[in-house]
Amino acid sequence: MNPTDGTKGEPAGAPRPARRAVLRTAFTAAVIAGTGGALAPVLLGTQGPAGADRERGAVGPERFSELYKGREIRGTVTTTVPAGAQPYAAAPPDDGKQPHAGAQPYAGEAGAAAAVTGTEVSVDGRPLHVMRRADGSYLSTVNHYESFPTLLETARAAVDELGPAQLSAASPHTI
Amino acid sequence: MYSRKNQRDLTRTEKKRLVDAILELKRSGRYDDFVSLHRQYYVTDAESRPRPAHMTPSFFPWHRRYLLEFEKALRAVDPRVSIPYWDWTRDNTASSSLWADDFLGGNGRPGDRQVMTGPFAYRQGNWRIRAGVTDDPFLRRNFGRPSSPVTLPAAADVERALKDPVYDTEPWNSVSTTGFRNRIEGWGIRGGRGVANHNRVHRWIGGSMAGAASPDDPVFWLHHAFIDLLWTRWQKAHPRSRYLPARELPAGDPQRDRIFPLDRPMPPWDVAPSQLMDHSRLYRYV
């Protein structure tokens, strides 16, 4: 634990598996949560301009859990691969027209475009809806008119703006 | 044809009529429909959906139409009212008459940032926040955000934006570094400029105005009337400049189906930016 801010998150400089290995891992399971240590750079690379990728790479993958100003803030990167977009996990097709997943070594790359990159951030267990800008930065429902380079900064800024208030439990998930 | 006045010039009676009309919309439920609409059309530029309202060239015309709809609702309650504008380069302190007890009420109190004064204070019984970002049923303000201080934009900040002769530029989103639109909308540019003008004012007020349900604070309308006036001033300063993009973007341009060129109808009203370029037959700023 970091004595200055109570951070328990994984170090940003965790070793990263080779890209292919990461992709294979990613598309083996339908849902992989809390994989910030290895997946975030690949997933974030599927969208946004090159500059954003560099910035994200510099900041590192995000997974955190800390006490900030007395509030528990948590963040994870979650990826959901929609059903039917899992070339390595799906059963072999039976109509003979669709290519067999195993015969398509680059199917994973195509699948990457269909993968939905998600982020889950919470303050005291209540979900903080987070959105992204084209430059890869984040903004939340609490701070709608400024953005932050990392999820951690987004969560901390939300706490600053909330004061003692609790996020609405009924907050619509998509806005 | 009616006038939109500087809020500092309103008489006591005009302020009361406006406040009463707003409270009536709140009572009837229509006010909260406007809050939800704004929330619904907040689409960011990392999404592939169309974004008519923010991070987009149609930031000005979309909000012009949004204010017109709200003003129409207000005037159905009382035909003598219109939306005043707040020139935050001039009335830039917490002691402005804007925040007095007879108008919008003042800053939130320390601690929970609850607005305690004026007609929109929760304890007055007429202003309950129903679908806000937090659980709190009261309006929140946090002027200047003391935890990380922010100031209101200066007149020079607005002047710099008004001098840009180009309406908007590629990539037509929140990272457009030049062009009048984003200089006023005010998205921070990494390694460039900080949060500016429109966005900065939302941030300075803080609380409800900083978040997804910003129209929960009635100052939203006065702020956006000034933004609308700045668009008119820019048009007058650059009579040969035009709204951009003027035509549909080429096939293959990633922004093609996300933004609204001059003649593409905007939701939810199915009205194109080209139909909102000139307000002079509807209202004028005095």
Beta-bridged to residue A66, according to DSSP, are A73
Q: How confident is the model at residue A80 (pLDDT cuts 50, 70, 90)?
A: low
User: Whole-angstrom Cα distance, residue A117 to residue A105?
Assistant: 22
Nearest to A146 among B112, B188, B207 (CB): B188
d(C-alpha A141, C-alpha A128), whole Å:
7
Confidence tier at A98 by pLDDT (50, 70, 90): very low
CB contact under 8 A, A133 and B44: yes
- Is pLDDT larger for residue B194 or for residue A62? B194
pLDDT attached to residue A8: 43
Give the pLDDT confidence score for residue B122 in this predicted structure: 98
Interface of A with B in 62-121 (CB under 8 A): none
Cβ contact A72:A124 at 8 Å: yes
- Identify the pLDDT of residue A79: 59
Q: Closest chain A residue to B132 measured between Cα atoms?
A: A168
CB-CB neighbours of B258 under 10 Å: 20
A117 pLDDT band, cuts 50/70/90, is low
CA–CA min distance B173, chain A (Å):
8
For residue B96, the model assigns a pLDDT of 98
B113 contacts chain A (CB < 8 A): yes
**Percentage of residues in chain A with pLDDT exceeding 70?**
39
The angle subtended at Cα B36 by Cα B30 and Cα B37, nearest 5°, is 90
User: What is Dmax (Cα atoms) for chain B?
Assistant: 55
3-state secondary structure of B75: helix
Burial B70-97 (b: 16+ CB within 10 A, else e): bbebbeebeeebbbbbbbbbebbeeebe
pLDDT per residue over B151-175, tens digit each? Answer: 999 999 999 999 999 999 999 999 9
- Spatial neighbors of B282 by CB under 8 A, at least 6 apart, are B1, B2, B68
Question: Is residue A113 pLDDT above 90, yes or no?
Answer: no
Instruction: Give whole-number Cα distances, B43 to A68, A89, A132, B55, B262, in Å.
Output: 29, 33, 10, 8, 19
The CATH architecture one would assign to domain B2-276 is: Orthogonal Bundle (1.10)
Measured between beta carbons, the chain A residues lying within 8 angstroms of B200 are: 145
Q: Which of A48, A136, A146 sits opposite B199 (nearest CB)?
A: A146
Which one of A135, A160, A167 has the shortest CB-CB distance to B175? A135
| Each residue's pLDDT tens digit, B229-270 | 999 999 999 999 999 999 999 999 999 999 999 999 999 999
Per DSSP bridges, beta strands A130-132 and A138-140 are antiparallel
- The alpha carbon of residue B58 is apart from the nearest alpha carbon of chain A, in Å, by 17
**For chain B, which residues score pLDDT lower than 70?**
none
Q: Which residue has the higher pLDDT, A30 or B286?
A: B286
* B224 near A CB under 8 A: no
For residue B190, give the amino acid letter. R
pLDDT of residue B135: 93
Would you call A52 an interface residue with chain B, using a CB distance cutoff of 8 Å?
Answer: no
Q: Does A139 touch chain B (CB under 8 A)?
A: yes
| pLDDT, tens digit (0-9, with 9 covering 90-100), for A150-166 | 999 999 999 999 999 99
Q: A49 to chain B: nearest residue by CA?
A: B46
State how far residue A114 is from chain B, nearest Cα, in angstroms: 13
List % helix, strand, coil for chain B (3-state, nearest 5): 40, 5, 55
Interface residue A164 vs chain B (CB under 8 A): yes
Q: Which residue do the tokens 């922010």 mark? A: B150
Q: Is some CB atom of chain A closer than 8 A to the CB atom of B174?
A: yes
- The domain locations on chain A are 19-88+102-162
**How far apart, in whole angstroms, are the C-alpha atoms of residue B99 and residue B117?**
9
Q: Give the count of Cβ contacts less than 8 A between chain A and B.
A: 105
pLDDT at A29 over 80: no
ipTM > 0.90 for the complex: yes
B148 interfacial to chain A (CB closer than 8 Å):
yes
pLDDT at A118 over 80: no
Please answer yes or no on whether A144 and B212 come within 8 Å at the CB atom.
yes
Distance CA A73, CA A152 (A): 8
Query: Which H/E stretch holds residue A78?
Result: strand A71-80
**A45 touches B: beta carbon within 8 Å:** no
Q: Can you state the angle between helices B30-40 and B59-77, rounded to 10 degrees? A: 170
Distance CA A75, CA A120 (A): 6
Count of Cβ atoms closer than 10 Å to residue A160 Cβ: 19
- Residue A126, SS3? strand
B203:A145 CB<8 A: yes
Scanning the structure block, which residue is given the tokens 């109808």?
Answer: B265
Q: Is B212 on the interface with A (CB under 8 A)?
A: yes
- What is the predicted pLDDT for the residue at A169? 84
Query: Residue A146: which of B273, B44, B216, B27 has the closest Cα?
Result: B44
Nearest to B210 among A131, A144, A175 (CB): A144
Taking the CA of residue B40 and the nearest CA in chain A, the distance in Å comes to 6
Closest CB to A48: pick one of B46, B135, B174: B46
- Give the Cα separation of B266 and B268 in Å (integer): 6
Closest residue to B214, CB basis, from A144, A149, A160? A144
Residue A172, chain B, CB below 8 Å: the answer is yes
**Interface contact A170, partner B, CB < 8 A:** yes
Nearest in space to A130 (alpha carbons), one of A150, A100, A111, A113? A150
Query: What is the DSSP track for A46-67?
Result: TSS-HHHHHHHHHH---EEEEE
User: How far apart (Å, rounded) are the C-alpha atoms in residues A155 and A128?
Assistant: 8
Architecture field, domain A19-88+102-162: 2-Layer Sandwich (3.30)
What is the pLDDT of chain A when averaged over all its residues? Answer: 60
Q: Is B58 on the interface with A (CB under 8 A)?
A: no
